[in-house]
Structure 1
Amino acid sequence: MANTELQMGHSSGRSTDNALSRDVSFSILSNQRRRYVLHHLKRVGEPTPIRNLAEQVAAWENGCGIEELTYKQRKRVYTSLHQTHLPKLDSHGIVEYERGRGVATLTERAADLDIYLQVVGRNDISWSQYYLGLASVSLAVLAAAGLGLPPFTFVADLTYATVIAVTLLISAAIHACHLRRMHLGSTEVPAELTTGRNGLLTRLLGAR
């Protein structure tokens, strides 16, 4: 059975590599429309007609409800998905696109794209910057306490260490919850849409 599936995938032009390379993953996810497609298919979890898929993607792109879309907006996305994006996803085995039926299905290989988007607002800082700042302040406080500089001598070193540890634990918990929300398909609306017009897509990071 495995050999037959490999032969079928090869004859249809699909990649037969065991795992998607980082370059391929970044190439696929560098396009917003493809991210929306993957988000919707993962959220729905079942074969989806391209018409329904195009309507949802168009609604997200235009910031409106499906019922508010114009014919031109629907048609533009439909054509793009049919001619470009779904065939590309199909060629890498991430989506099975049945052109005749006009149906797209997310495959198990999509698990290779266990990707989250780290979106940073224009006036916000990234988590890496936050942890760097937290570590710098913590080291400065511990150094001052170790040198006996007032007012840091008024509190025991163990208290400082406890406060730092608790702060780090809370920060890590919040960060973990934030990352879960940023995974494609984990929320009703793509996470990058919730950052507003000033949101900046700063990184695409692979969990694998």
Structure 2
Amino acid sequence: MSSVSQHRGRGEPSETAEEQTDTEGSTDDLSEDELFDVLANRRRRYAVHALKAEGETAELGDVAEQVAAWEYGVDVEAVSYDERKRVYTALQQSHLPMMDDAGVVDFDKNRGTVEPTAALEDVEVYMDVVQGHEIPWSVYYLGLSGVAASLTAAVWLNAWPFALLSDVAWLVAVVAMFAASAVAHTYYSRGQRIGETDEPPELG
């Protein structure tokens, strides 16, 4: 018999299995809306990145210092007292309590510690950061599909100079194009995963 059950009074109803499931679900489940709300703010994204990279309980002061360094574009050692205090206060009073309510972190305000929850650790978060001169991967694959379709049509019509190579050779070429693109996309995506690299993806 568990210690919780031993301390219950005779007339006190025990927690049902359904209630236990609901309680566990509210702790471990993280909805997409809650996750989007957390990631909508840059400072919270930086905090999530720092915590996922750490993977264990961290001191609030250390998190604030690292977030401040990313925000101001300086090394951790170069963060000023005012910059650290500004970020520390915002995290303590606003961001971390909100993240704690969402089930993203366990924030102990009295002890000044913060820890990523199992719900956050189970989520792989990617940032699709596209600079002004870059092409989104969705558009890239659409263009690649168009090239492959045009190439297939030219080979099927025996148009010159595509008729110089066999159909099998062109098939291998098309497969190689998509395979190379998939490898490049996979490598890029790893760099865009929050908590995977030294710096947040948007600073890369």
Q: Deviations over 1:105-127 (max 9, x none)?
A: 11101135321001112101011
Q: Give the secondary-structure state (helix, strand or coil) at the position aligned to 1:192.
A: helix
For 2:157, the equivalent position in structure 1 comes to 147
For 2:38, the equivalent position in structure 1 comes to 28
For 1:45, the equivalent position in structure 2 comes to 55
Q: Is the 8 A contact 1:19 1:112 kept in 2?
A: no
More strand by share: 1
For 1:56, the equivalent position in structure 2 comes to 66
For 1:197, the equivalent position in structure 2 comes to none
Question: Which of the residues 68, 73, 76 maps onto 1:66?
Answer: 76
Q: CA deviation at 1:17?
A: 6.3
Q: CA deviation at 1:20?
A: 2.1
Q: Is the 8 A contact 1:54 1:74 kept in 2?
A: yes
The answer to whether structure 1 residue 134 and structure 2 residue 144 are counterparts is yes
The answer to whether structure 1 residue 170 and structure 2 residue 180 are counterparts is yes
Q: Which amino acid aligns with 1:64?
A: V
Q: CA deviation at 1:24?
A: 1.6
The answer to whether structure 1 residue 89 and structure 2 residue 109 are counterparts is no
For 1:98, the equivalent position in structure 2 comes to 108
Question: Which of the residues 73, 96, 121 maps onto 1:111?
Answer: 121
Q: Distance in 2 between matches of 1:66 and 1:121?
A: 26
Name which structure has the greater RCO, CA cutoff 8 Å, separation 6+: 1
Q: Which amino acid aligns with 2:194?
A: L
Under a length normalisation based on structure 2, what TM-score does the superposition of the two structures give? 0.85
Q: Which runs of 5+ in 1 are unaligned?
A: 195-208
* % identical aligned pairs: 39
Q: Distance in 1 between matches of 2:59 and 2:27?
A: 27
Superposed counterparts of 1:12-27, under 5 Å: 16=26, 19-27=29-37
Under a length normalisation based on structure 1, what TM-score does the superposition of the two structures give? 0.83
**Shift >4 Å, 4+ stretches:** none
Larger mean CA deviation between 18-27 and 116-125 belongs to: 18-27
Q: Which amino acid aligns with 1:45?
A: G
Q: CA deviation at 1:137?
A: 0.6
Q: Distance in 1 between matches of 2:154 and 2:28?
A: 53
Q: Distance in 2 between matches of 1:98 and 1:122?
A: 41
Q: Give the secondary-structure state (helix, strand or coil) at the position aligned to 1:116.
A: coil
For 1:161, the equivalent position in structure 2 comes to 171
Q: Which amino acid aligns with 1:181?
A: G
- The alignment yields a C-alpha RMSD, in angstroms, of 2.3
For 2:132, the equivalent position in structure 1 comes to 122
Whichever of the two has the greater Rg, that structure is 2
Q: CA deviation at 1:163?
A: 0.5
Q: Give the secondary-structure state (helix, strand or coil) at the position aligned to 1:104.
A: strand
The answer to whether structure 1 residue 78 and structure 2 residue 88 are counterparts is yes
Q: Give the secondary-structure state (helix, strand or coil) at the position aligned to 2:149.
A: helix
Equivalenced residue count is: 188
Q: Distance in 2 between matches of 1:142 and 1:157?
A: 9
Q: CA deviation at 1:43?
A: 1.0
